[in-house]
Chain A
Amino acid sequence: MIDVQWYLLLSAGLFCIGLFGILTRRNALIFLMSVELMLNAANINLIAFSQHFGHVDGQVFALFGMALAAAEVAIGLGIILVLYRNFGDIDVTAPTTMRW
């Protein structure tokens, strides 16, 4: 079997790519896609350990994670719609009123 470290490395890499997207991109839809990447990186982690320890709980958690990711995307798209309505643009750096 493949050592669990490589799966963890893959998961870390995917997570950091998603994080890179959050930190640098300005388009709200790309932002949401990056968040999805991070959630799936966590799923990979869960499944990797499920396979390493022979416990199927990890895979069940991953299923639940996918379901929640879907729910979160639904709400996120709703928020982007409202953002567009209020600011006229889906640039995440536009709404800056909650500050000093």
Chain B
Amino acid sequence: MRRPRLAEDLSPAAGIAAVALFGVLAAVFLSAQFPEGAGFSADAAITEGIGYALFDLVGQSDLATEGFLFAFLTIAIALDAALDGAILLARRDDEEETLPDGGERR
């Protein structure tokens, strides 16, 4: 293996847009006035609170939060669907392969 090299196939002209975006965002954030925020108390059990929030057991935690059970279940289904989709996309080995732009085959 060769040692890592800087990429040669960069086309850096478009990157100026990203830099410009950073400039604008920095200007906005640094000049914004934020209200004085209240942080967490020193001995608050945050991770425990997140766990209770995920299962709609909000009363058992001291932190101010709300229930996220429905979102939790939805994300679980979405992850499952994504896994199935990835397997489906990866599995097209034994079909006739059409090349849409008439490009060269592998």
Residues of A in contact with B (beta carbons under 8 Å apart): 1, 3-5, 8-9, 12-13, 15-17, 19-20, 23-27, 51-57, 59-60, 63-64, 67-68, 70-72, 74-75, 77-79, 81-82, 84-88, 94-97
Contacts and interface: CB of A to CB of B under 8 A. Distances in A.
Interface of B: 7, 9-12, 14-15, 17-19, 21-22, 25-26, 29-30, 32, 34, 37-40, 46, 49-50, 53-54, 63-66, 68, 71-72, 75, 78-79, 81-83, 85-90, 92, 97-101, 103-106
Contact of B12 (A17, A24, A51, A71): A24
Interface of A is mostly: helix
A97 B86 contact: no
A54 B86 contact: no
